[in-house]
């Protein structure tokens, strides 16, 4: 028999048997312990780990069968061999039912003993190996399940849509975002061919063609709901051969909108710049081509008008610069607590002369202290400058521009009220649009860039506020600026 | 030039009217001006003109077209040549071509603003000669 340091316990009330067993086992590489009854044997089994136990069936205090039951509770893999003096089939069967591996009938020869113990130890090794494999398999299974569900969870949580297909165009995976982005109604698309399932024939075609060409591609398209999506289609390459494709979908509608707004803005600006420049160029050409025929008065008039158009260009460019300044990142601006009463006083002081020249009463009625506003002083001064200078500009001689302020819950409301030309109901909704000019202003030939209010609104929004307008054609306009204050409500 | 041709200039930008009026008058044409499409249609109905020069984009985006349509709809004015000026091609990024769009535009000539004096006179002469 082969041994390798196994631990063997002999439980028998007959000393001869105990000694006999020990003698035989001494020749082998194993350690042997002896117990003279079942109780002592059980104690040893509870405190130490044994590989094999030899148990006498008939013992005082705790019998062999009872001990066998206890052993099964401690470790199912301990190999027990019953030693019995009256080897009947009945007791042997009962012992084996209770978990014994084999039995030895007294008297036994050393060879019999070696054979049975040797087989018992082999059994023990097999049991341990089986146990180890079982544990390993269970561990692998848990790992595997965990890994799979983790990957699945990640893919299902992605904001981007993911669609995987095999080479023949069979859909292998679709995550919830892809279903949402493509508004796929058919729930059972996995396992089916891609044709007609994604609702975008061009996308289906691209995915299929990439299954053949293996060249990754990016493709943008619009959906029925006017959303723009971008698909990045990549071949899945495994051991140098392509096995399918993976498509990642992202919603680029917002980016497209910004792109469009930017390009619209550029063409609008170009148009606005072109009109005054065209006029100046036209006037200069008149003089250069001799069409004024030395008429000094006419030439003076032309130069005057050219200068006015040049001044208009400068105003426009200044407003454009303001616009780009308000567009700058907030972190680049000096943000601080602003004394709004002081800021309004400063802005009104600045426009007092302009108002006086038009005999307009510019009246500021605010408390000495107003709730403070957190923000950019430069931007807020620009906001109220735009509103107050507009009020003066669009108010006829002898009119009144009144500025007052009020606290409304956590908001500070500043009213800029004029007795000016007003804005028609049709146009009042457009006045914050870039380059929009009210027809009442155009008809009265009051110059302007159409940017001042769009800048004002942008600044108010940057300060967690908004602007309201109330106007009546021919009567006047009130702009109300609401800003979030830093004080408790 | 025995008889003075009368031209109506329509533009909402007074400076362009001023510039074109100076060019045309110094070439011997008689010029009247209108700043809105209503004003222009009023003058066209009550006065005689040999040529209409109109800006495409006035207070509304396409009021130049509106005028051109009104002129073509009116039996008396049907044969009045129209020169349309615009800076629209830059604004829309779309280049108007007379031959392609003539049916729709109902104008006789189309030019991008601003037009140099010599170029303007050349086009005006061509339109007036075709008419006579």
Indicate left, alpha or beta for A292 from its phi (over 0: left) and psi (-120 to 50: alpha): alpha
Is the link from the previous residue into A107 a cis peptide, with omega within 30 of 0?
yes
Number of other residues whose CB lies within 10 A of the CB of residue A229? 21
Q: What are phi and psi of B32, to 5 degrees?
A: -125, 155
DSSP-based three-state secondary structure for A36: coil
Is the link from the previous residue into B39 a cis peptide, with omega within 30 of 0?
no
Domains of chain B: residue spans and CATH: 6-129 (3.40.50.2300)
Q: Which residues of A touch B31 (CB under 8 A)?
A: none
Could you read off the pLDDT tens digit of each residue along chain A, which spans 489 residues?
788 888 999 998 888 888 888 888 888 888 899 998 889 999 999 999 999 999 988 887 788 888 888 888 888 889 999 888 765 667 777 888 888 888 888 888 888 899 999 999 999 999 999 989 998 888 887 887 788 888 888 899 999 999 999 988 889 889 999 999 988 887 788 888 888 888 888 999 999 888 888 889 999 998 888 889 999 999 988 777 778 899 999 999 989 888 888 888 887 788 788 888 989 999 999 999 988 887 889 999 999 999 999 998 998 898 888 888 777 766 567 788 999 999 999 999 999 999 999 999 999 998 888 888 988 888 899 999 999 999 999 999 999 999 999 988 888 999 999 999 999 998 988 899 877 888 778 777 777 788 889 899 999 998 889 999 999 999 999 999 999 888 654
How many angstroms away from the CA of B30 is the closest CA of chain A? 15
Q: Which residues of A touch B90 (CB under 8 A)?
A: 267, 270-271, 274
| B39 contacts chain A (CB < 8 A) | no
Q: Which two tokens stand for residue A168?
A: 């023949």
Cα nearest neighbour of A281 on chain B = B114
Q: Which residues of A12-166 form beta strands (DSSP E)?
A: 30-35, 52-56, 79-84, 102-105, 161-166
Q: Which residues of A touch B113 (CB under 8 A)?
A: 278
Flag residues of chain B having pLDDT under 50: 1-2, 90-97, 99-100, 102
Nearest alpha carbon to residue A319 among A285, A362, A269: A269
ipTM for this prediction: 0.80
Local structure of residue A433 (DSSP, 8 states): S
Measured CA distances, A299 to A154, A356, A370, B88 (Å) = 75, 33, 54, 29
Measured CA distances, B3 to A328, B29, B128 (Å) = 62, 9, 12
Rounded CA separation A375/A333 (Å): 9
Binding-face residues of B in 48-87 toward A, CB within 8 A:
59, 87
Strands B109-112 and B82-86: parallel
Question: CB–CB of A145/A187 below 8 Å?
Answer: no
Q: Which residues of A touch B37 (CB under 8 A)?
A: none
């Amino acid at each position: 028999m082969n041994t390798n340091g196994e631990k063997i316990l002999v439980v028998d009330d007959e000393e001869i048997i105990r000694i006999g067993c020990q003698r035989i086992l001494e020749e082998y590489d194993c350690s042997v312990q002896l117990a003279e009854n079942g109780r002592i044997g059980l104690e040893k089994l509870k405190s130490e780990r044994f590989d094999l136990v030899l148990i006498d069936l008939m013992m005082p205090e705790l019998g062999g069968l009872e001990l066998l039951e206890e052993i099964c509770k401690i470790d199912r893999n301990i190999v027990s061999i019953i030693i019995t003096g009256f080897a009947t089939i009945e007791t042997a069967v009962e012992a084996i039912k209770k978990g014994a591996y084999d039995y030895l009938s007294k008297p036994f020869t050393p060879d019999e003993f070696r054979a049975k113990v040797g087989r018992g130890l082999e059994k023990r090794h097999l049991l341990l190996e089986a146990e180890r494999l079982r544990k390993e398999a269970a561990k692998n299974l848990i790992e595997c399940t965990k890994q799979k569900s983790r990957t699945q969870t990640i893919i299902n949580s992605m904001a981007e849509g993911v669609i995987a297909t095999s080479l023949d165009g069979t859909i292998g995976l679709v995550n919830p975002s892809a279903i949402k982005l493509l508004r796929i109604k058919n729930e059972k698309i996995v396992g089916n061919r891609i044709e007609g399932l994604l609702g975008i024939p061009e996308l289906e075609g691209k995915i299929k063609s990439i299954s053949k060409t293996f060249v990754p591609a990016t493709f943008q398209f619009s959906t029925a709901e006017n959303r723009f999506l971008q698909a990045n289609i990549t071949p899945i390459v495994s051991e140098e051969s392509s096995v399918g494709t993976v498509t990642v979908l992202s919603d680029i509608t917002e980016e497209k909108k910004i792109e469009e707004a930017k390009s619209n803005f550029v063409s609008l600006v170009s148009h606005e710049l072109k009109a005054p420049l065209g006029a100046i160029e036209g006037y200069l050409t008149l003089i250069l081509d001799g069409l004024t025929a030395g008429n000094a008065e006419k030439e003076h008039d032309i130069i005057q008008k050219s200068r006015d158009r040049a001044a208009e260009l400068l105003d426009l460019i200044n407003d454009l610069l303001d616009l780009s300044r308000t567009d700058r990142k907030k972190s680049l601006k000096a943000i601080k607590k602003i004394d709004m009463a002081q800021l309004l006083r400063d802005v009104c002081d600045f426009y007092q002369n302009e108002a006086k020249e038009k005999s307009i009463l510019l009246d500021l009625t605010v408390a000495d202290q107003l709730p403070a506003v957190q923000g950019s002083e430069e931007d807020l001064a620009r906001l109220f400058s735009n509103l107050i200078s507009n009020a003066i500009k669009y108010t006829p001689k002898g009119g009144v521009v009144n500025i007052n302020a009020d606290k409304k819950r956590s908001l500070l409301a500043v009213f800029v009220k004029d007795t000016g030309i007003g804005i028609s109901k049709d146009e009042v909704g457009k006045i914050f649009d870039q380059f929009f000019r009210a027809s009442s202003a155009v008809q009265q030939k009051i110059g302007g860039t159409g940017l001042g209010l769009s800048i004002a609104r942008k600044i108010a929004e940057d300060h967690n506020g908004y602007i309201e307008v109330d106007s009546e054609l021919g009567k006047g306009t009130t702009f109300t600026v609401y800003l979030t204050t830093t004080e408790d409500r | 030039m025995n008889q003075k041709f009368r031209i109506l200039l329509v533009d909402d930008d007074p400076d362009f009217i001023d510039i074109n009026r100076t060019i045309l008058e110094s070439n011997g044409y008689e010029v009247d001006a209108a700043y809105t499409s209503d004003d222009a249609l009023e003058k066209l109905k009550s006065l005689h003109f040999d040529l209409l020069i109109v800006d495409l984009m006035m207070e509304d985006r396409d009021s130049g077209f509106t005028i051109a349509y009104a002129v073509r709809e009116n039996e008396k004015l049907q044969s009045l040549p129209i020169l349309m000026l615009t800076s629209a091609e830059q604004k829309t990024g779309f280049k108007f071509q007379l031959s392609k769009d003539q049916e729709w535009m109902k104008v006789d000539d189309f030019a991008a603003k601003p037009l140099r004096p010599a170029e303007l006179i050349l086009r005006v002469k061509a339109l007036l000669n075709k008419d006579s």
